[in-house]
């Protein structure tokens, strides 16, 4: 797919041909809606897509970083960020009704669209039913590039609120190295022991790192 727009307006092309036939920059232009004085929206969109290395790169840029750029501003940057977030949620929503999280591969498949692109760490709790089906998912911590702080109490509270039969922990490594750190292992063991006491067992802790993932259960490090 090309990353420049045609001389014909993207709105007209979308109406005639459908959204699937538009270039990436055309779609961004539709979301932005308008450019600025002397700067058409198609030029703004093309600059955004090319300047970020494509849609993947653009999706990883925070709205506050896009807002100061020519022709963007606060409202348009939030609108664009919201579109990317809706896309990620749509992928998850499509998987959830039929997903059984019986393996770390399935957990990673579910969470990769939400976590793999982030430049900071996030910790999520997946609440499971008795057949390893996903009941709910909650973010319990957000941190910086090198980690996030969360207590066993916060993690297990999320499981209790969702009436989970068991829970899975998931967090990301922005370094794209899925190897669990010493802190990851220690925290996991604390949660595992506490979960057994209150009747909400921790069945796995999966680390998403770009296109790879690691599992403390698969590595024999859980409990």
pLDDT at 5 exceeding the cut of 80: no
Count of other CB atoms within 10 angstroms of residue 137: 18
Question: Model confidence over 52-103: pLDDT tens digits?
Answer: 999 888 998 989 999 999 999 999 999 999 999 888 877 766 665 557 899 9
State the total domains in the chain: 2
Q: What is the pLDDT of residue 147?
A: 61
**Are residue 22 and residue 53 in the same domain, yes or no?**
yes
> What's the CATH number where 162 sits?
3.40.140.10
Instruction: Kindly report the average pLDDT of the chain as a whole number.
Output: 88
pLDDT of residue 2: 45
The pLDDT value recorded for residue 149 is 76
Q: What is the pLDDT of residue 4?
A: 46
Phi/psi of residue 167, nearest 5 degrees: -135, 155
Does residue 6 have a pLDDT over 80?
no
- Residue 28: strand, helix, or coil: helix
C-alpha span between 85 and 18 (Å, rounded): 22
| 142 and 38 inside one domain | no
Q: Quick one: tokens of 185?
A: 């292992």
Specify whether 112 is located in the same domain as 205.
Answer: yes
pLDDT grade for 3, boundaries at 50, 70 and 90? very low
Cβ(128)–Cβ(168) below 8 Å: yes
Region for 53 from its dihedrals, namely left if φ exceeds 0, alpha if ψ lies in -120 to 50, beta otherwise: left
Among all chains, which residue has been given the structure tokens 């296109």? Answer: 211
Would 30 be classed as within a structural domain?
Answer: yes
Q: How far is residue 16 CA from its own chain's centroid?
A: 33
Q: Who contacts 196 (Cβ-Cβ below 8 Å, separation ≥6)? A: none
Is 4 part of any domain? no
Least confident span in 71-85, 103-117, 141-155: 141-155
| Full residue range of the structural domain in which residue 108 is found | 100-215
Sequence-ordered list of residues with C-beta below 8 angstroms from that of 71, at least 6 positions apart, any chain: 32, 35, 36, 39, 41, 43, 44
- What is the CATH classification number for the domain harbouring 14? 1.10.150
Instruction: List the beta bridge partners of residue 214.
Output: 207
Task: Give the least confident one: 25-39, 107-121, 147-161, 201-215.
Answer: 147-161
Determine the Cα angle at 20 with ends 14 and 23, to 5°. Answer: 75
pLDDT in tens, 151-182: 899 999 999 988 999 999 999 999 999 999 99
How high is the pLDDT of residue 93?
Answer: 64
Main-chain dihedrals φ then ψ at residue 193, nearest 5 degrees: -65, -45
């Amino acid at each position: 797919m090309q990353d420049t727009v045609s001389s014909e307006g993207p709105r007209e092309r979308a109406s005639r041909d459908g959204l699937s036939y538009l270039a990436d920059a055309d779609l961004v232009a539709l979301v932005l809606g308008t450019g600025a004085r002397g700067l058409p929206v198609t030029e703004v969109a093309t600059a955004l897509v090319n300047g970020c290395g494509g849609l993947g790169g653009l999706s990883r840029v925070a709205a506050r970083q896009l807002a100061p750029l020519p022709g963007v501003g606060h409202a348009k940057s939030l609108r664009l960020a919201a579109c990317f977030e809706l896309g990620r949620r749509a992928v998850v929503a499509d998987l959830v009704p039929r997903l059984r999280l019986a393996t770390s591969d399935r957990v990673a498949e579910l969470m990769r669209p939400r976590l793999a692109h982030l430049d900071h760490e996030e910790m999520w709790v997946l609440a499971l039913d008795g057949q390893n089906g996903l009941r709910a998912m909650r973010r319990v911590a957000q941190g910086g590039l090198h980690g996030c702080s969360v207590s066993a109490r916060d993690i297990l509270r999320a499981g209790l609120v969702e009436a989970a039969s068991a829970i899975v922990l998931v967090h990301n490594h922005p370094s794209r190295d899925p190897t669990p750190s010493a802190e990851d292992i220690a925290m996991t063991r604390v949660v595992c022991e506490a979960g057994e006491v209150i009747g909400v067992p921790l069945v796995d802790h999966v680390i998403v790192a770009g296109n790879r993932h690691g599992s403390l259960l698969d590595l024999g490090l859980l409990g």
